[in-house]
Amino acid sequence: MIIIVAAMTRNHVIGKDNRIPWHIDEETRHYRNLVEGKTLLMGRATFDLMKHPYAHGHDIVVTHSKINHKAADVCGSVDEALKKAKEYGPDVFVIGGQSIYEQTIGIADMILLSYIKKDYEGNKFFPEFSKAEWREASVEEFTDFTYAVYIRKKKLGSQHTVSDIPRR
């Protein structure tokens, strides 16, 4: 399964000047619980921002550069990164940023989305997605954010169900 994980404002802001414009401890803990130990796929800019890698399974970074990194697999395209992820298991968690969300939202099976309640300005955005294609499978309220899980509709009843939603 391709699982997108993101936090955004109601206006779809996810980042500003190469950082996340809010600091919400509860959301950070929530995010960490979701992705820790998993196979993570991200763009090079997001990888550069991860100052304290979690104790997790695998980082896969997409970049046009021919670099090597001892803490991550480096891939030249999203397709290559998805193939690499399959070597580690059936699920890959796509953790941003904007360019990688844009390239994977059309093929993702699930979106784990935190809606930040306060408004923030930014210059990076989560793509629009049609509610006609996605079913809101669950919603959970936290103090400063609302956590929603979306499952791609065409997969319902076939491959994925609510019981597939990753547990924190």
Ligand X SMILES: NC(=O)c1ccc[n+]([C@@H]2O[C@H](COP(=O)([O-])OP(=O)(O)OC[C@H]3O[C@@H](n4cnc5c(N)ncnc54)[C@H](OP(=O)(O)O)[C@@H]3O)[C@@H](O)[C@H]2O)c1
Separation between Cα atoms, residue 127 and residue 85, nearest integer Å: 23
CB of 159 to ligand X, least distance (A): 25
Binding-residue total with ligand X (CB under 6 A): 29
Q: How far, in Å, are 7, 9, 12, 134, 146 from residue 24 at the CA level?
A: 11, 13, 17, 27, 12
- Applying CB under 6 A, among 98, 104, 147, 151 the residue interacting with ligand X is 98
Q: How far, in Å, are 14, 128, 153, 164 from residue 131 at the CA level?
A: 19, 9, 9, 20
Structure tokens at 156: 């319902």
Q: What is the footprint of ligand X within residues 28-67 (CB under 6 A)?
A: 42-46, 49, 62-65
Q: Does 146 engage in binding with ligand X (CB under 6 A)?
A: no
Residue carrying the six token digits 């695998």:
58
Q: Which is nearer to ligand X, 76 or 159 (CB)?
A: 76
Q: Does 100 engage in binding with ligand X (CB under 6 A)?
A: yes
Q: Which stretch binds ligand X (CB under 6 A): 86-94, 99-107, 129-137, 156-164?
A: 99-107
Q: Which is nearer to ligand X, 20 or 156 (CB)?
A: 20
Separation between Cα atoms, residue 18 and residue 67, nearest integer Å: 21
Where along the sequence are the contacts to ligand X (CB under 6 A)? Answer: 6-8, 14-15, 18-20, 42-46, 49, 62-65, 76-78, 95-100, 103, 124
